[in-house]
Amino acid sequence: MSMTAIQGVTPHSPAWRAGVQRGEILTHINGHPVVDVLDYKFYSYDPRLELTLKRPDGTQRSLKIRKSEGEDLGLEFETYLMDRARSCANHCIFCFVDQMPPGMRPSLYFKDDDARLSFLLGNYLTLTNLSPREVQRIIDLRISPINVSVHTTDRELREKMLNSPRAGLGIDIMERFAGAGIRMNCQIVSCPGINDGPALDRTLSDLAALHPAVNSVAVVPVGLTKYRQGLYPLEIYRQDTAGAVIDQVEAFAQQRLEAQGTRLVWCSDEFYLLAGRELPEKSYYEDMDQLENGVGMLRLLTSQAETALEDAQPQDFTRAAPFSIATGTSAAPFLQKIVDMAREKCDQIQGTVYPIANRFFGEEITVAGLVTGGDLIAQLQGKNLGQRLLIPDCMLRAGERVFLDDVSVDDVERELGVPVSVLDHESGFDLADAILGLETASAPRPPAWENEEFYRYNP
């Protein structure tokens, strides 16, 4: 059991009113052992609670608390997990962390594979790290959806791709979850000649057999940096091979739509960009369940921006000071279309989109989320940036103003001599407002566990 002591009690919170003290250890809620943050959050949701606390001298006491349903107790711990995050025990042949350059901050070399981070932050996990207790807890608490990095359902191939003898057990756990009604969103990192082709057909068929427990599947291309010395030999997708994956996935998705009423599986936007193909229409993506994997994100962004610009009034355009937008090379053409739409509404709009080549990781990396502050400064120095520079929040560490290379937004502003506005990378409405001069710097989005719906058990 976790022995993490309470580090603080929020003033006027339910725990504060009940007299919980800093330094005590929360051992049980309503008789349920509290091992980590999931136990704490789920068992403390009810309005009537009995806490079992251990004092620093080893003695125990009980406190009864009444509060609003879903109201936080107000206890603070050393970490939000109430213990250490669990590192990944796999050695995946495509692992991005293994492709990081040397000399970066230690946290960027940490590989997490922690089920709690999946529930709290939406991280994807391989299931190889789950203990029997955690598997049973997910089933007992009906925690869902969970996000699973599948890659392949062929157990032998999965062991090879993850370099783990436990990799095949992940498929068994998925089947057990499906039997218990736990919903899963799945991810397949597709590697040319390894888990695409016939292997992908098998994986999609196996996952479709677990529908509706398997709620959605994203197929994304492997990302390779220039730092792969000594790693497993992998290739990137080219126009023809990316197109072949799209054809394969779309054909399977059409079959599922006719048989099950949902396409179930989608390729990420990056596959369409690599293949030089138009993105499907917004309706193709159904409920947009795989936005975090870049599935339909550019289509949604364009659609929202178009709606916002159509609704804009003439006076809205009078605030639009000259601006620039920095993004990855793959998204740049889409953002340029949005700027062009704005200019069609008002020819006084002055904006330039700058695609940033990724010199830090290698120019095969084209997504905005891996653009560094150093590349921004180097490639925008001396350019006409207008009166403001717009960047997406995915370039920064979550909730912070720091890029992957430890360059800060303040550094960029100082070096380029222009204020930087950070926008929600998933919101075309925010982008349109920013173009119109209505933007405000995006506040960090609250973590999932601050949303009370996160704690409601699924019926």
Q: Which domain holds residue 54?
A: 8-76
Query: What's the whole-number mean pLDDT along residues 408-430?
Result: 93
Omega of the bond leading into 333 within 30 degrees of 0 (cis): no
Question: What's residue 39's pLDDT?
Answer: 83
Which of 22-26, 106-110, 204-208, 435-439 reaches the highest mean pLDDT? 204-208
In a domain, 367, yes or no: yes
CATH label of the domain that carries residue 210:
3.80.30.10
231 and 325 within one domain:
no
Does residue 142 come out as left (phi exceeding 0), alpha (psi in the -120 to 50 range) or beta? left
Is pLDDT at 83 greater than 90 in this prediction? no
In a domain, 454, yes or no: no
Angle, CA 181 vertex, CA 297 and CA 113 arms, to 5°? 60
271 and 241 within one domain:
yes
How far out from the chain centre does Cα 80 lie?
18
In a domain, 445, yes or no: no
pLDDT digits (tens, 9 = 90+) for 430-459: 999 898 887 544 444 444 333 433 333 332
Question: What's residue 114's pLDDT?
Answer: 55
Is pLDDT at 42 greater than 80 in this prediction? yes
Question: What's residue 447's pLDDT?
Answer: 41
191 and 60 within one domain:
no
CATH label of the domain that carries residue 363:
3.40.50
pLDDT digits (tens, 9 = 90+) for 375-413: 999 999 999 999 999 999 999 987 789 998 999 999 999
322 and 271 within one domain:
no
pLDDT digits (tens, 9 = 90+) for 305-323: 999 988 887 776 777 889 9
Question: What's residue 87's pLDDT?
Answer: 60
The residues pairing with 402 across neighbouring beta strands, listed in sequence order, are: 408
Question: What's residue 445's pLDDT?
Answer: 43
Which stretch of 180-184, 323-327, 393-397 has the lowest confidence by average pLDDT?
Answer: 393-397
Question: What's residue 337's pLDDT?
Answer: 93
Which stretch of 122-126, 209-213, 433-437 has the lowest confidence by average pLDDT?
Answer: 122-126
Query: What's the whole-number mean pLDDT along residues 411-429?
Result: 92
125 and 51 within one domain:
no
Give CB contacts under 8 A, 24+ apart, made by 286-291: 286/262, 287/216, 289/185, 289/215, 289/216, 290/185, 290/216, 290/217, 290/218, 290/266, 291/426
Domain boundary among 238, 266, 293: 293
In a domain, 53, yes or no: yes
Omega of the bond leading into 198 within 30 degrees of 0 (cis): no
pLDDT digits (tens, 9 = 90+) for 346-367: 888 899 999 999 999 999 999 9
209 pLDDT band (50/70/90 cuts)? very high
255 and 346 within one domain:
no
273 and 172 within one domain:
yes
In a domain, 89, yes or no: no
* Total structural domains within the chain: 3
157 and 68 within one domain:
no
In a domain, 448, yes or no: no
127 and 163 within one domain:
yes
90, 128 contact by CB (below 8 A): yes
106 and 215 within one domain:
yes
27 and 55 within one domain:
yes
CATH label of the domain that carries residue 64:
2.30.42.10
CB within 8 Å of 47: residues ≥ 6 apart = 66, 67, 68, 69, 71
Question: What's residue 81's pLDDT?
Answer: 58
Is pLDDT at 125 greater than 90 in this prediction? no
